[in-house]
A and B are shown apart, each in its own frame.
Chain A
Amino acid sequence: MTAPDGLSRRRLLVKLGVVFNGAVGAILAVPIVRYILSPAIRVRRPVQGSWLSLGSVGQFPEGQTRLATYRSPAANPADGETANIPCWVRRVAGEKFQVFAINCAHLGCPVRWFPQSGLFMCPCHGGAYYSDGSRASGPPERGLFEYSYRVEQGNLLIQPDEMPTPGDPAASLINISIGRPPCV
């Protein structure tokens, strides 16, 4: 039986069926997309109080830069060693510290500290930084990333977050010193 406008009963049912499936698909898509995007839309800044100890202040002699490691607060049991994150701790004097991310500000390779020449050097593309983390030479466009820190009951605490990357706006919010040391 054909309706006056040429739309048969069967065709209408097919169209309704398509619309119905489309609607159910759209409803199902919401949780699926939410699931896929979950790593990106988690709370991006750490909650207050997620301070982590790097050990007692006494482990870091004044005027020296030492490697320290911490277990990422985001770790889960399957992460194994990958959740042990290294960082460079420079004790400037007294309770004044600088805690640098291990990742080069160019492309994230692990920088190494050379106390004799007072430089951080990157093994990948040859970026170099001065002892205060500022850029010395090579491809990086900025100094090393720094963690915010505080000293409490003789312990050095930092507030670790995600792996710092050059495009992360959060990384540029952390106080960094760019520029050369004054000429001697």
Chain B
Amino acid sequence: MIRVQAEDFDIGAEVAKLTAGRTDIGAIVTFTGTVRDQDGAVEEMTLEHYPGMTERELSRIEAEAQARWPLQASLVVHRYGTLKPGDNIVLVVTASEHRDAAFDAAKFLMDYLKTSAPFWKRETGPAGSHWVEAAENDADAASRWHKKKHAAE
């Protein structure tokens, strides 16, 4: 399941909903991304996205994770709009029989989301506001999964 929303999410409630009535799950991994103030440099962060394509990309990435690992359940929730330091940005939940699949799939989902989901961050602080530049190591993190896939083939 994927969701794009302005509202905050409750990690406990999301996990409970995802796993309700399930007795086949042995491992649940959650990742939460939050807004950092970067030592006072960031007072506000605004996330813009591409409605329609965002949902398509998140669904595509989730389907790819489901194809690569034996997941019993997965969830990606990503927020947009104006956020403050400490606010939640993104939630990834993966559930599997054993921990390796859940850990790996959660990292894969985040690495891919970072380089392909159409979101853009704008940070505002005492020095003004600017669009966040994409980090080169994000592309590297995503491309490592390409190599792993080829190595497995």
Are the chains A and B members of one assembly?
no
Q: Which residues of A pack against B, CB within 8 Å?
A: none
Q: Which residues of B pack against A, CB within 8 Å?
A: none
